Structures are given as structure tokens and as C-alpha cells.
């Protein structure tokens, strides 16, 4: 009898190692983040391609490749990749019952990654930004998708008793902001623009430019004659990532459940040794604070945060952490129940064979790893600045500032063409080392059409 439990123990451990996905996703992706933040876009692209060739999930890596393409001045490529990733993640968003059951025997990494809620929402926001610096034809549709996606995510989480853990999710003020500036450019849909700017002031009350946008739209004004508007969009800092953390309260809850099960089943179960591992959002914004914009000798202003990506991710984690922990507890109990079932089927209660299976159960539980998969190249903050400027081609001086107002990296000079009564968009990516890649302007970047597909 001793040989059989030993073989079963070995099989269970082997199965655990097979079922447990890669525990070091962010460890492997950290060089990508480092290269990107240092402005080495070629190296970041090379590392992502190498990761994809190793068998990692295509849709997740497409998100990072899209951010590299956008920083490298290829907005059409970025939009194409983001759309492909969006459609792929949408297909797996509905949980497969088989995958859910399978993950109970391993960990959450055995499930196809469908993206965190904030990632699925911000994906649409990045689509809007990528489109704006082309011809902007689909930017409003993408902005609507941001709002619709967040509403559908929240609505789907409603419980029968009326509670909803996702009701406290932070709204993405960037979406109505973009709709507002696009509506007012028509010079007729000012009521629509004002409604959207009112949402901005509600969703992001500390956005200081908000009341001025609302007042302007309410007055039915876009710009003075002979002037146009330059909207500076800045993707600032390093976005959040996931790290593995041990949750002690969950371990205590599991110990209580273990004792209850042991008492009810009158049989020993694998002792609670390995703590429960869960992914925790880590905010690592760095020291980049804002982008200063100058026109000649005139300091025109600094970009201001319209959406904090890290804050959004942290708030969503806070709302959903109890459910993550509950899932981890269920998984641990399932594994304990599996060991118990094997022991019952073989008629084991005590002795060395029973102890061997207990040890196998401990190893099985210890093999669990937190799912640290995430979109690693999101910015920490999305910032904006509106400038009303005279018609013509103007050089804008751009400088990344830290939180104390000190310059980071080298300043750059970017020409923009201002059209009478029209919007021009300027996109930059800022990090602790200064600017990443090159600025993109809607006045100088021709769009490569993506025929035959809706936005």
C-alpha cells in the first residue's frame, strides 16, 4: 500500500506543477518596462516579441506592443493592435465553466486572461487617443465604448440582493472629456459638449480645467476668430503592475474551514501550511509629474490629470479583493477535499500512507502562484491641456517636470499647425528619463485606413 500513495503523491505534485501557470509574468516583463521608460523602444519591442515567441498570451502582449508602436510614432499600428486585442479579450471575457473548474485544481493562471476591468475600459481609451492623432474619425465612437464598457461591467456584477461590489468603480473622465472637445468642434453641438463636460466635473472633481470647459461650452464658444485649439495629451509615468502577496487573513479563515471540515469528515486533511497567494496592484508612478508647454517665450501651461490609471486600478482591487480571497479559499478547500476523497477511496485514515498523501496535499497547495499577468506599459496618469492659439504653424516647447517642477530629460520643440476654428491634437509620453519616443500631432500624421471594419 505504501508504494501506491507515493505514486499518487508524485502524480499530484506533477499535476500541480503542470496546472500552475507561470508565476513570474511581471518578473519577465520588468525588462520591457525598464527599456520602455528609458526610451529604448527597439529593445522593448524585441523583448515583447521574444516573450510572445515563448508561448505567452498574444492578446496581452499585443497591448504592450501597441503602446510601443504609439510611442514610436506609429498610431495606425497601435490602433490595429489595440483593436485586435480588444476583440480577443472580449471573446474570452465570458468565463468558461470548464476553465473555472480546471483552475480550482491549479491556480488562476490556468485560465485564459481576459484582462482586468480597468484594462478593458482603458483599452478603449487608448484606442480613442491613437485615433485622435490620425484623422480622429472614430475617436468619438471609441470614447462611447469606454463609457458603455464600464457600465456593462458594473451592471453585470449586480447581486440578487441589490449589492454591487463594482458600483464604487472610478469612472474614466477622459471619455466624456474627449466627447466634449469633439462635440464643441462642430460649432453647433454645444449642448452635447456641455453635458459631457458636466460629467467630467462630476467624475473628476479635482480637475481644475473642468469648470472652464463647462462654462465655455455652455456659452457656445469654441475659439475666437482666427484661432484654433491645440489639445495636448500626455501619458505620464509608469502604470501599475501586479505583484504576488501573501494574505494572512485568508490563511486564518482557511484554518477555521480546515478544522470544520476535519471535524465533520472525521479524517485528517492536509494541514494549512502554505499561505494564500493573491495578486496585489502596485502603483509605481516614478517622479515624472507633468509636461510644461511653452509657445516661444510664453509659458502656456502644464498638463493636468484627467484620469489616474493607478488610482483606478487600486480602487477596483479594493472593491474586488474579498471576492479574490474567497476564490482562493474555495480553491484551497477543493484541493483539501480531493486529498480527502483519495484517502477515503483507499480506506486511509492514519499511518504513513495517509501522511504521504497529506504531504502531497501540502506540496499541491504550495505550488499555487498569484496571477500577475497585466498590461505592463500603461501610464500612471493621462493628462490634458487645452491651448487656444492663433492660426498658423507654431513651435511648442515641451518639458517633462518632476513633482517639484524640476526638468527631467531634454526638452523638445514640436511644430503644430493650428487651423481656424478646429482642434489639433498633440500626444506625448513622459517618464522619469524625459520623453519616450517622439511627439505625435494630428496635423502631421497621415492615417493608414483600416478598411472594412467598424471601430
pLDDT tens digits, one per residue of 335-379? 655 655 555 565 556 655 555 555 555 555 555 667 888 999 999
Residue whose cell numbers read 519577465 = 28
Look at residue 455 and tell me if it is in a domain: no
Look at residue 450 and tell me if it is in a domain: no
**Which residue stretches of 206-283 are H helix?**
210-218, 248-265
pLDDT value of position 448: 33
Question: How many of the other CB atoms lie within 10 Å of CB of 18?
Answer: 12
* Whether 368 contacts 107, CB under 8 Å: yes
Look at residue 216 and tell me if it is in a domain: yes
Which segments of 155-226 are extended strands (E)? none
Indicate the number of domains in the chain.
1
Residue 401 CA: distances (Å) to CA of 348, 406, 407, 428, 434: 68, 5, 4, 13, 8
Q: How confident is the model at residue 10 (pLDDT cuts 50, 70, 90)?
A: very low
pLDDT value of position 321: 80
CATH of the domain at 349: 1.25.40.10
Domain that holds residue 198: 3-159+170-441
Look at residue 316 and tell me if it is in a domain: yes
Instruction: Give 37-105 as a 3 state SS string.
Output: HCCCHHHHHHHHHHHHHCCCCHHHHHHHHHHHHHHCCCHHHHHHHHHHHHHHHHHHHCCCHHHHHHHCC
Long-range contacts of 361-364 (CB under 8 A, 24+ apart): 361/12, 361/269, 361/270, 361/335, 361/336, 362/270, 362/271, 362/273, 362/274, 363/9, 363/12, 363/13, 363/16, 364/12, 364/13, 364/15, 364/16, 364/270, 364/335, 364/339
* Whether 136 contacts 425, CB under 8 Å: yes
For the chain, how big is the Rg over CA atoms in Å?
26
pLDDT tens digits, one per residue of 207-235? 999 999 999 999 999 999 999 999 999 99
Look at residue 347 and tell me if it is in a domain: yes
pLDDT tens digits, one per residue of 374-407? 999 999 999 999 999 999 999 999 999 999 999 9
pLDDT value of position 412: 95
| Helix/strand/coil for 423 | strand
Look at residue 351 and tell me if it is in a domain: yes
pLDDT value of position 162: 84
To the nearest 10°, report the CA torsion of 176, 182, 184, 190.
-50
Mean pLDDT of the chain: 81
Range with the lowest mean pLDDT among 23-27, 124-128, 262-266?
A: 262-266
| Dihedral of alpha carbons 354, 359, 365, 368, sign | negative
Q: What is the pTM of this model?
A: 0.82
Look at residue 435 and tell me if it is in a domain: yes
Greater confidence, 98 or 442?
442
pLDDT value of position 371: 81
Residue 260 CA: distances (Å) to CA of 14, 113, 253, 362, 363: 29, 34, 11, 18, 22
Residue whose cell numbers read 464600464 = 150
- DSSP per-residue letters across 388-405: EEESEEEEEEEEEEETTS
Task: Report the run of H or E that residue 381 belongs to, with start and end.
Answer: strand 381-390
Residue whose cell numbers read 467598424 = 454
Look at residue 164 and tell me if it is in a domain: no
pLDDT tens digits, one per residue of 236-259? 999 999 888 776 544 534 443 454
Residue 449, pLDDT above cutoff 50: no
At 373, give phi and psi (nearest 5°).
-65, 140
Amino acid at each position: 500500500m505504501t508504494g501506491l500513495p507515493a505514486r499518487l503523491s508524485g502524480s499530484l505534485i506533477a499535476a500541480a506543477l503542470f496546472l500552475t501557470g507561470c508565476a513570474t509574468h511581471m518578473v519577465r516583463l520588468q525588462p520591457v518596462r525598464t527599456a520602455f521608460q528609458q526610451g529604448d523602444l527597439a529593445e522593448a519591442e524585441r523583448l515583447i516579441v521574444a516573450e510572445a515567441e515563448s508561448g505567452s498570451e498574444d492578446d496581452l502582449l499585443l497591448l504592450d506592443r501597441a503602446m510601443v508602436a504609439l510611442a514610436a510614432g506609429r498610431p495606425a499600428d497601435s490602433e490595429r493592435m489595440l483593436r485586435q486585442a480588444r476583440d480577443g479579450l472580449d471573446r474570452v471575457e465570458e468565463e468558461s465553466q470548464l476553465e473555472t473548474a480546471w483552475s480550482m485544481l491549479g491556480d488562476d493562471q490556468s485560465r485564459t486572461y481576459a484582462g482586468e476591468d480597468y484594462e478593458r475600459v482603458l483599452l478603449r481609451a487608448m484606442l480613442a487617443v491613437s485615433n485622435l492623432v490620425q484623422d480622429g474619425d472614430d475617436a468619438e465612437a471609441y470614447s462611447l465604448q469606454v463609457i458603455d464598457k464600464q457600465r456593462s461591467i458594473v451592471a453585470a456584477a449586480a447581486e440578487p440582493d441589490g449589492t454591487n461590489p463594482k458600483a464604487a468603480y472610478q469612472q474614466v473622465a477622459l471619455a466624456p472629456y474627449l466627447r466634449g472637445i469633439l462635440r464643441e468642434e462642430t460649432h453647433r453641438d454645444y449642448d452635447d459638449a456641455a453635458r459631457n463636460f458636466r460629467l467630467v466635473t462630476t467624475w473628476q472633481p479635482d480637475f481644475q480645467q473642468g469648470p472652464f470647459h463647462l462654462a465655455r461650452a455652455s456659452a457656445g464658444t469654441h475659439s475666437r476668430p482666427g484661432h484654433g485649439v491645440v489639445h495636448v495629451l500626455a501619458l505620464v509615468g509608469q502604470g501599475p503592475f501586479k505583484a504576488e502577496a501573501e494574505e494572512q487573513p485568508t490563511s486564518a479563515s482557511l484554518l477555521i474551514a480546515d478544522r470544520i471540515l476535519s471535524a465533520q469528515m472525521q479524517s485528517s486533511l492536509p494541514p494549512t501550511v502554505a499561505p494564500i497567494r493573491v495578486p496585489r496592484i502596485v502603483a509605481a508612478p516614478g517622479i515624472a509629474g507633468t509636461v510644461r508647454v511653452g509657445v516661444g517665450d510664453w509659458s502656456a501651461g502644464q498638463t493636468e490629470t484627467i484620469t489616474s490609471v493607478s488610482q483606478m486600478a487600486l480602487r477596483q482591487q479594493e472593491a474586488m479583493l474579498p471576492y479574490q480571497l474567497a476564490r482562493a479559499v474555495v480553491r484551497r478547500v477543493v484541493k483539501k477535499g480531493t486529498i480527502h476523497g483519495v484517502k477515503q477511496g483507499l480506506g486511509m485514515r492514519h499511518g504513513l500512507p495517509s501522511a504521504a498523501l497529506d504531504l502531497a496535499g501540502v506540496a499541491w497547495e504550495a505550488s499555487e502562484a498569484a496571477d500577475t499577468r497585466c498590461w505592463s506599459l500603461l501610464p500612471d496618469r493621462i493628462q490634458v491641456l487645452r491651448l487656444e492659439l492663433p492660426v498658423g504653424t507654431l513651435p511648442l516647447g515641451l518639458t517633462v517636470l518632476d513633482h517639484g517642477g524640476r526638468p527631467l530629460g531634454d526638452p523638445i520643440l514640436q511644430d503644430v499647425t493650428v487651423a481656424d476654428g478646429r482642434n489639433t491634437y498633440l500626444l506625448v509620453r513622459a517618464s522619469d528619463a524625459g520623453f519616450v519616443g517622439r511627439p505625435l500631432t494630428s496635423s502631421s500624421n497621415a492615417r493608414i485606413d483600416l478598411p472594412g471594419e467598424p471601430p
